[in-house]
C-alpha cells in the first residue's frame, strides 16, 4: 500500500549534465562552440565548465535564480519528510512479513480460529410438540437489537461529559490506541504453539489515546434472520418475568414473585441493569426505553452502602459497558465510569489483592467480617470489565489494578498442575486453605477469565494462555472421572489428595469455555472434552424428576442395579434458575451446528415454565427439584435469570451467527458481551 518516487533533485549523470547545459544555455555559448570546433581542449576541463556554468547562472535574472533555489530547497525538504514517514512502516511491514513467513502454521495439530458452523436456517420447530405458552400479545419485531451491533472504540477525551439523552452520532468514536509493538510472541505448551492475532491492539498498562475520531466498526449489512417460534417463546418468558419485576419490584434488586414484593442486596436495581442488554438483543425497545429512563433519573451510586466488588463488577459495570457498546448511548458509559471509580478503593491493600467489599459512598473497603481472605475466583474475574473501562476512558488505573492481580497470581506457589486453591489473603498476597481444588464455587471463573482475557486482548498475553492451558491439563489429570452406568464424564473435586465425586452446577460453564478455546485455536481435544461434559450437564437435568438440575450433584462411580448416574442429597436439591448449562449449549450449537443442543435447551425452558413460573409475573427458584407435585418455591428471582439464562436461551435458538458474533465479542461471566479489542 506504500509507494515512493525518486526525488527530482537526484544528481544527473555527467553526460546528461553536459547536454542540459548545452541546451539550456546555448544562447550565450558561442565562445565555447568556437573553441570546440578549433579542437581546443579548454572546454573539456572541469575549470572551464565551472566558469561557464557560473557565467550562465549570472545571466539569469534574480527572480529566476530565486525560483530555482526555492524549488531545489522545497524538493529537499519533501525528500526528508517522505523518508521519515515511510522508513518505519516499511521496516515494520518487512519485519512482520518475514516473521509471519517463518512462524505461520507452525502449530502441530492446531488450527487457527475456526469459523462457527451453523446449518442453513430452516422453518424452526417443526416437531416441537405441545407448546403450552401463550403467544406474546404484540407482534414481535423481525430484527433484534440495533440495525447493527456496534463495537465502540475508546473516546479521545478521557473526561466524560455526555448529555443524558442517547448519543445520536453512532458513526463517530475514537479509534483504538496505536500498537506499540510489532514483535510477535509465540508460546508453546505441551506441543501446542499459539500465535497472537496480528490485527488487534496489544494490552498495556499505558492506555494510549487515539489521534482523532474514526467511524465505528459495524457488522456487515445482511438480511436479518427471522425470529423462530422458540425464540418467541423466550421473549414471552422474559416479558412475563419483566411484568412481575415492573409491577412489584421496580428499581429494586430482586423480585419476590410469590409474595409480590422485592428484596434488596445493594439497592442498585440489579435486575434492571442485568437485563438491559438482554432487552436490546431481543428487540424489546419499549421495555428498554423505560429501563433507560430509570438509569438516567434514579440510578445513584453515591450511597452509603457496602457492595461486593465481584458482583458489582460483573453485573453493574459489565452490564453498563455492554449496553453502551450495543446502543452507543453514552449515558451508560458515564454510569460505568462512576461505579468503576467507586470500586477502586478495594485495591488499597498491602498486597494489592482487592478486598471483597466496598462502601461506594464513603470510598472505603474491607474484607468479610469473618476473614481477611478474598475468594480467588472473585479477585480474578473482574478483569474483562476494568480493562475495557480503561480502554474506553483512557484512564489506565483500572487496567493497571486488575492486571497486577493476574501477574501476582501467575507467580504464586500452591498450585497443583495449574489448579488453584479457593482463597487468597489480602495482606500477604498468598494462597490460603491449600490442598483443596475445585472448578465450582470460589474458583470457577478464574479459569474462565484466563481464556477470555487472552481472547479480549488479541491473544498476546502469553501468561494468561499458559495458566489456562495448565489448568485444563490439571483438570484432566486430577478431577476427571467416569460415572456409572452411562459412563458420563464429570469434573469432581480434590481435597488433600482425596477425590470427591461432587460437581456443582457452576462447573457447567466449562464445556462452553473449552469449546470457545478450541474455536480460537486451542487443541482439538478441548472440543472433544467439551462435547462430553455438555452431555453430562444435560443429564443433570434429564435424570431429575422435574427436568431441572439441582445446585450440586454426586455421581455414582460404581455399577449398581437401578441406580442413576446422578445422585442428589437433600441439602443440594434446590435450583436457582442458573444459566451455566444453557450457556454451554449455546457455545456448542454455535460452533458445531448440532441441533440436539437446541432441543436440550428447549426441554430446559419447558421445565422452567412448568415448575418455576409464577402466574402473576416472574419466575421463582425452588427448593426441591425431585418433587413434581411440590417443588417448594423459594420466592426469589435472581437477576441472572434475565441477564444470563434467558439471554443464552434466546441466542441458542438463533441461527444467526452475527447475533453477538463470537469472533467480535466475548461474554463476561454474567453474560454481558464486551468487544474483542479492535484493530489498531
Concatenated DSSP letters of 425-493: ETTT--EESTTEE-SSTTTHHHHHHHHHHHHHTTS--HHHHHHHHHHHHHIIIIIEEE-TTT--EEE-E
| DSSP characters over 210-272 | PSSEEPPEEPPP-PPPPP-HHHHHHHHHHHHHHHHHHHH-TTSSEEETTTTEEE-SSSS-HHH
Is the predicted pLDDT of residue 174 greater than 90, yes or no? no
| Residues 257 and 620: beta-carbon distance below 8 Å | yes
Confidence tier at 352 by pLDDT (50, 70, 90): very high
Instruction: State the pLDDT at residue 473.
Output: 98
Bigger pLDDT: 1 vs 608: 608
Set of cell numbers at residue 293: 429512563
Instruction: State yes or no: is 169 an active-site residue.
Output: no
Confidence of residue 201 (pLDDT cuts 50, 70, 90): very low
Residue 188 is predicted with a pLDDT of 39
The model's confidence at residue 209, banded by pLDDT at 50, 70 and 90, is: very low
Main-chain phi, psi angles of 346, to 5 degrees? -60, -25
C-alpha cell recorded at residue 401: 489494578
Q: Is the C-alpha dihedral spanning 264, 268, 272, 273 positive or negative?
A: negative
pLDDT at 404 over 90: yes
Q: What is the pLDDT of residue 91?
A: 53
Residue with cell 480502554: 391
In whole angstroms, what is the distance from residue 597 CA to residue 589 CA? Answer: 6
- As a whole number, mean pLDDT of residues 368-390 equals 96
Q: What is the pLDDT of residue 218?
A: 45
Average pLDDT rounded to a whole number, residues 660-671: 98
Among residues 645, 450, 446, the alpha carbon closest in space to that of 548 is found at 645
Cell 412448568, residue located = 610
Share of the chain above pLDDT 90, in %: 66
Q: ∠41-42-46 over CA atoms, to 5°?
A: 110
Per-residue confidence (pLDDT) for residue 501, from 0 to 100: 98
Indicate the range of 237-251, 485-499, 556-570, 634-648 predicted with least confidence. Answer: 556-570
Residue 490: CB partners within 8 Å, gap ≥ 6? 480, 481, 482, 483, 501, 503, 533, 536, 555
The pLDDT value recorded for residue 676 is 98
Contact 153, 210 (CB under 8 A): yes
**Given 504, 551, 565, 655, which residue is catalytic?**
551
Out of 179, 201, 329, 444, the active site residue is 444
Tally of residues, the chain: 680
The CA distance from 544 to 200, in Å, is 45
The values of phi and psi at residue 574, to 5°, are: -85, 155
Q: What confidence tier does 66 reach under pLDDT thresholds 50, 70, 90?
A: confident
Each residue of 283-338: pLDDT tens digit? 999 999 999 999 999 999 999 999 999 999 999 999 999 999 999 999 999 999 99
- Placement of cell 452520532 in the chain: 169
31-49 average pLDDT score: 46
Q: What is the mean pLDDT of the chain?
A: 81
Confidence label for 84 from pLDDT (cuts 50, 70 and 90): low
Q: In whole angstroms, what is the distance from residue 653 CA to residue 600 CA?
A: 11
What is the average pLDDT across 580-598? 98
Positive/negative CA dihedral, 437, 440, 443, 446: positive
Q: How confident is the model at residue 449 (pLDDT cuts 50, 70, 90)?
A: very high
Average the pLDDT over each of 197-211, 581-595, 634-648 and give the range with the smallest value: 197-211
Residue, of 204 and 470, whose pLDDT is higher: 470
Residue tagged active-site, from 197, 217, 311, 603: 311
- The DSSP letter of residue 509 is G
pLDDT digits (tens, 9 = 90+) for 259-278: 999 999 999 999 999 999 99
Lowest mean pLDDT of 23-27, 289-293, 360-364, name the range.
Answer: 23-27
Catalytic site residue from 195, 373, 378, 580: 580
CA dihedral 547, 552, 558, 564 (to 10 degrees): -10
Q: Indicate the DSSP class of residue 101.
A: H
pLDDT number for residue 98? 47
pLDDT higher than threshold 50 for residue 604: yes
What is the pLDDT, as a whole number, of residue 90?
A: 52
Alpha carbons 395 and 160: distance in angstroms, whole number: 11
Which residue in the block uniquely carries the three cell numbers 495458566?
Answer: 467
Q: What is the pLDDT of residue 75?
A: 87
Q: 493 pairs with which residues across the strands?
A: 500
Query: Cα angle at 646 between 641 and 650, to 5 degrees?
Result: 170
Of 87-96, 240-249, 321-330, the poorest mean pLDDT is in 87-96
Q: What is the mean pLDDT of residues 340-359?
A: 98
User: Mean pLDDT over residues 326-353, rounded?
Assistant: 98
pLDDT on residue 490: 98
Measured in Å, how far apart are the chain's first and last C-alpha atoms? 17
| Cα 546 from Cα 185, distance rounded (Å) | 51
pLDDT at 170 over 50: no
Task: Count Cβ atoms within 10 A of the Cβ of residue 370 and give its class: 0-12 exposed, 13-18 middle, 19 or more buried.
Answer: exposed
Q: What are phi and psi of 188, to 5 degrees?
A: -115, 130
Q: What is the pLDDT of residue 161?
A: 41
- Of the pLDDT bands very low, low, confident and very high (cuts 50, 70, 90), residue 172 is very low
| Residue range 475-503, pLDDT digits in tens | 999 999 999 999 999 999 999 999 999 99
Name the nearest CA neighbour of 544 among 505, 499, 584, 510: 505
pLDDT at 42 over 80: no
Q: Predicted confidence band at 61 (pLDDT cuts at 50, 70, 90)? A: confident
* pLDDT for the residue 47: 56
Concerning whether 311 is annotated as a catalytic residue, the answer is yes
d(CA 559, CA 356): 44
Among 59-68, 300-309, 335-344, 354-363, the range scoring the smallest mean pLDDT is 59-68
CB 279 within 8 A of CB 291: yes
- What's the whole-number mean pLDDT along residues 643-657? 98
User: Of 335 and 680, which is predicted with more confidence?
Assistant: 335
The Cα angle at residue 655 between residues 654 and 660, in degrees rounded to 5: 65
Longest Cα–Cα distance of the chain, Å, equals: 128
Q: Which residues of 319-334 are buried (b: 16+ CB within 10 A; e: fewer)?
A: bbbbbbbbbbbbbbbb
d(CA 493, CA 479): 6
Whether residue 190 is predicted with pLDDT greater than 50 in this model: the reply is no
Query: Where does the pLDDT of residue 146 fall: very low under 50, low under 70, confident under 90, or very high at 90 and above?
Result: very low
Q: Which value, in Å, is the radius of gyration of the alpha carbons in the chain?
A: 33
Amino acid at each position: 500500500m506504500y509507494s515512493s518516487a525518486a526525488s527530482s533533485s537526484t544528481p544527473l549523470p555527467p553526460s546528461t549534465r553536459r547536454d542540459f547545459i548545452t541546451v539550456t544555455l546555448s544562447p550565450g555559448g558561442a565562445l565555447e562552440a568556437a573553441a570546440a570546433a578549433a579542437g581546443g581542449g579548454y572546454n573539456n576541463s572541469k575549470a572551464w565548465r565551472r566558469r561557464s556554468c557560473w557565467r550562465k547562472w549570472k545571466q539569469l535574472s534574480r527572480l529566476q535564480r530565486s525560483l530555482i533555489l526555492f524549488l531545489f530547497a522545497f524538493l529537499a525538504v519533501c525528500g526528508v519528510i517522505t523518508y521519515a514517514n515511510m522508513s518505519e512502516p516499511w521496516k515494520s511491514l518487512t519485519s512482520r512479513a518475514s516473521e509471519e513467513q517463518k512462524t505461520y502454521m507452525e502449530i502441530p495439530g492446531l488450527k487457527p480460529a475456526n469459523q462457527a458452523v451453523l446449518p442453513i436456517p430452516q422453518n424452526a420447530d417443526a416437531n416441537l410438540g405441545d407448546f403450552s405458552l401463550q403467544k406474546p400479545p404484540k407482534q414481535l419485531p423481525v430484527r433484534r437489537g440495533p440495525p447493527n451491533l456496534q463495537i465502540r472504540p475508546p473516546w479521545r477525551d478521557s473526561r466524560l461529559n455526555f448529555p443524558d439523552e442517547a448519543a445520536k452520532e453512532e458513526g463517530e468514536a475514537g479509534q483504538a490506541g496505536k500498537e506499540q509493538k510489532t514483535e510477535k510472541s509465540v508460546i508453546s505448551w505441551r506441543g501446542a504453539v499459539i500465535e497472537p492475532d496480528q490485527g488487534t491492539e496489544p494490552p498495556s498498562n499505558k492506555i494510549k489515546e487515539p489521534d482523532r475520531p474514526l467511524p465505528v466498526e459495524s457488522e456487515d449489512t445482511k438480511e436479518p434472520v427471522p425470529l423462530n417460534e422458540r425464540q418467541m417463546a423466550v421473549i414471552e418468558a422474559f416479558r412475563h418475568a419483566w411484568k412481575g419485576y415492573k409491577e412489584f419490584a421496580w428499581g429494586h434488586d430482586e423480585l419476590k414473585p410469590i409474595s409480590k414484593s422485592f428484596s434488596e442486596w445493594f439497592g442498585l436495581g440489579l435486575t434492571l441493569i442485568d437485563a438491559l442488554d438482554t432487552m436490546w438483543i431481543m428487540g424489546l425497545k419499549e421495555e428498554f426505553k423505560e429501563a433507560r429512563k430509570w438509569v438516567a433519573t434514579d440510578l445513584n451510586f453515591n450511597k452509603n452502602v457496602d457492595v461486593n466488588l465481584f458482583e458489582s463488577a460483573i453485573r453493574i459495570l459489565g452490564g453498563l459497558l455492554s449496553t453502551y457498546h450495543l446502543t452507543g448511548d453514552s449515558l451508560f458509559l458515564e454510569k460505568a465510569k462512576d461505579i468503576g471509580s467507586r470500586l477502586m478503593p478495594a485495591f488499597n491493600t498491602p498486597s494489592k489483592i482487592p478486598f471483597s467489599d466496598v462502601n461506594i459512598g464513603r470510598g472505603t473497603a474491607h474484607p468479610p467480617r469473618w476473614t481477611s481472605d478474598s475468594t480467588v475466583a472473585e479477585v480474578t474475574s473482574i478483569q474483562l470489565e476494568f480493562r475495557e473501562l480503561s480502554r474506553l476512558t483512557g484512564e489506565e488505573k483500572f487496567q493497571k489494578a486488575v492486571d497486577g492481580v493476574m501477574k501476582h497470581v501467575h507467580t504464586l506457589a500452591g498450585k497443583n498442575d495449574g489448579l488453584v486453591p479457593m482463597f487468597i489473603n489480602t495482606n500477604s498476597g498468598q494462597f490460603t486453605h491449600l490442598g483443596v481444588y475445585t472448578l465450582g464455587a470460589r474458583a470457577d471463573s478464574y479459569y474462565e477469565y484466563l481464556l477470555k482475557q487472552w481472547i479480549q486482548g488479541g491473544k498476546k498475553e502469553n501468561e494468561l494462555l499458559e495458566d489456562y492451558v495448565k489448568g485444563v491439563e490439571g483438570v484432566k489429570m486430577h478431577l476427571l472421572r467416569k460415572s456409572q452406568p452411562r459412563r458420563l464424564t464429570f469434573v469432581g473435586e480434590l481435597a488433600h489428595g482425596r477425590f470427591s465425586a461432587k460437581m456443582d452446577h457452576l462447573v457447567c460453564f466449562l464445556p462452553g469455555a473449552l469449546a470457545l478455546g478450541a474455536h480460537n485455536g486451542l487443541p482439538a481435544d478441548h472440543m472433544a472434552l467439551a462435547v462430553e461434559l455438555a452431555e453430562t450437564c444435560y443429564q443433570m437435568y434429564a435424570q431429575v424428576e422435574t427436568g431441572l438440575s439441582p445446585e450440586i450433584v454426586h455421581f455414582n462411580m460404581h455399577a449398581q442395579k437401578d441406580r442413576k448416574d446422578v445422585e442428589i442429597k437433600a441439602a443440594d436439591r434446590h435450583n436457582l434458575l442458573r444459566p451455566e448449562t444453557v450457556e454451554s449449549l449455546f457455545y456448542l450449537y454455535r460452533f458445531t451446528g448440532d441441533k440436539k443442543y437446541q432441543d436440550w435447551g428447549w426441554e430446559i425452558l419447558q421445565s422452567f415454565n412448568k415448575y418455576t413460573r409464577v402466574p402473576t409475573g416472574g419466575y421463582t427458584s425452588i427448593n426441591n427439584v425431585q418433587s413434581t407435585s411440590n417443588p417448594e418455591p423459594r420466592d426469589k428471582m435472581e437477576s441472572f435469570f434475565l441477564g444470563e439464562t434467558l439471554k443464552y436461551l434466546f441466542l441458542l435458538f438463533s441461527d444467526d451467527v452475527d447475533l453477538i458474533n463470537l469472533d467480535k465479542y466475548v461474554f463476561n461471566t454474567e453474560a454481558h458481551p464486551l468487544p474483542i479489542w479492535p484493530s489498531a
